[in-house]
Structure 1
Amino acid sequence: MSATYFKPRDRFDFAKDTLDIGNPIQWDKSHFLKHFFKRVFAIPEDCIAKFYQRHLAYYLSHHTDGTEEIFFKYFWSLIERQLKVLLGKDVYDKNHLKNEREIARLQKFMTMLISLDRWNIHKSNDAVIAQQESEIIALKQEVTQLKADLKKANSLETEGYINIPEGYRSAVLHLHLQMQELKTPEGKELMFSQTQSVWMKMICKYFREGDKEINYETIRRYFPSDKREPGDKHADIPAKSKLFTINLAKKRS
């Protein structure tokens, strides 16, 4: 494994933001790969392209017969091979979280390299397979997360509902509208939502009138998005349905 493709770190260069390979004092060139990937995983994400260009410039300046294609192939092979190694590790590996971070970083490098690939090197079978494997793993992880989210959401679901006697739907709507106006003793809104749709969806999902579903569009006219300018389609709750009034309770001694 040749380390001559990449710029070694200058002796006594203790800069934390260096893009060069190796230690500032002394390091064994036979451990090049370890130092190479240590830098790959350490540099900021916005320096990935700069990292490539810095070492490309070094390679071309030290190899009179070198070309960017040769450097690109070598760089690509290092990233591709390490990505395969990480993708092959068990998800129950004790370093799983670290592996996932490193996989994500190598995928960023591959994306950058593909954008520079004028020779279609990334379209080789091995590269395509590695990319597909990476995408499959990402999809599996997404599916696992979605299943967990669905299970959590379903835990709050119920087959039951709150039934309203036939003809008293508007009375219940009036109660919900009153609740929106309630304030705490400190003057803060007791219940706040960004949109009126939250209230309407809650009513349609958890309430029934005479065991029948409540139509979203039917109750929409009672919940204007802008209460100051409700618009022509707005309708007020009929006076005969305003059966209950919610008031602040008297303080108990």
Structure 2
Amino acid sequence: MTERFFKFRGRFDFSPHPYEIGNPIFHNRKLEDNFFALKLYSLPDGEYKAFYDFHLNHYLLRNPDGREAFFRKVNRSIQRRINFYSAKDPFRSVYEIHSANLDKLEAFQGFLNTIDEWNVNTSTEKMLNQRDAEIAQLKRNLADLQAQLDEILQYEASEKIVINNGNLASFMDLMRQLQKLMLPNGKRLVSTQGHSPWYKMIAKNFVHGDKLIPLATAQNYFSSEDSSKYIFISDKDRAFDIVPVKPVNRH
């Protein structure tokens, strides 16, 4: 039994779906390609995708893995008709109709090319050109990434700063004090939108004794005091007070 691809209207159905093919009385399903083309000729360009998807979904109900087979079927049918109309004598009286049909078919072929994920309509030369273009783009991207990496590495230190073992809390207390320092003009000495620059800087550039400082640990020193993860620093761990040389002008 020959496989059928397209959805026909029901017999004596005079209110079919606008994309169904065939007529209400005559149903020769062997001519489904002809009926498909006739329906296509009546559609505006903007409905090509909806028309294609309507019949594709109908086909997939019976052939769940048939997406490529359906595409090849439609593509082959359209190309045959393009070749047929292209070979017609332009001086015959029906040429105007043939030309209009050819325009529709070529426009629909253009749509098919946009969804050709199997490269059915792509020549070997074109595929090689596409591959070369993709390789060239990848090389440009790689060069850009390498340039970015080189710039980042300029700011990478060859070693980390060592906080004396057992004095992490004292160091963190100094960082907290730095956040609050005010200049004589009443402005902050340093400021950030959030705390992440502080704890990420510490986790990246400092070690506690011979051990790395986990990012989460550094972050907890800068969490909100209301947070259950906030690390309080006791008075015995506060080894220094940063005192301004000049008093802050509060006015």
TM-score under structure 1 length normalisation: 0.49
TM-score under structure 2 length normalisation: 0.50
